[in-house]
Structure 1
């Protein structure tokens, strides 16, 4: 259960990062509220998962999911560069996250 919560929390990290960008410095209400709610839920999920998962592994997986998710949203929805080197780097992050889970 802790791993499922950790993955969901990582996805919520993507949500709050994108909402933070869209909030335009907290000048837009809806993205600002989405940011706050997603941030609290993401942190609460991370805290719950860390009761069973070591902090080094849990935090690295959480950050990895959030970073890759945010970069993918940027590439697919926000017209950021999707160059081959960037994609390869994201795949390396995914490999690291999978490795942390496998060798946990």
Structure 2
């Protein structure tokens, strides 16, 4: 059951990437479809996080969920939205990834 919880958590984190990007595209909820996608996927992401929390420690699960979303949204911003990709920024992303991977393996 713990393996399924980790899968749910990973999918929830990936949905966070999509909903956060959709909210950026919604232009403050003034564009219908990006707003609908952002709100719908955020609810799905929260639901999957809640299910994963039945079997995972809250601190670890939340850090992994946020880490996946933060890294994903930052990379999407760099790749698709032309945001800055400085060495310092990329090193910080690497630190987040290292922390998320470390937490995953420490919790088993």
TM-score range for the pair, normalised by the shorter chain length = over 0.9
Is 1:64–2:67 an aligned residue pair?
yes
Unaligned runs of 5+ in 1: none
Aligned residues: 104
Distance in 1 between residues matched to 2:26 and 2:14, nearest whole Å: 18
Is 1:82–2:85 an aligned residue pair?
yes
RMSD value over aligned CA atoms? 0.5
Unaligned runs of 5+ in 2: none
Q: Which one of the candidate residues 27, 32, 35 is aligned to 1:29?
A: 32
Q: TM-score, normalised by structure 2?
A: 0.95
Q: Which one of the candidate residues 39, 45, 49 is aligned to 1:46?
A: 49
Distance in 1 between residues matched to 2:42 and 2:35, nearest whole Å: 10
Show structure 1 runs of 4+ deviating over 2 A. Answer: none
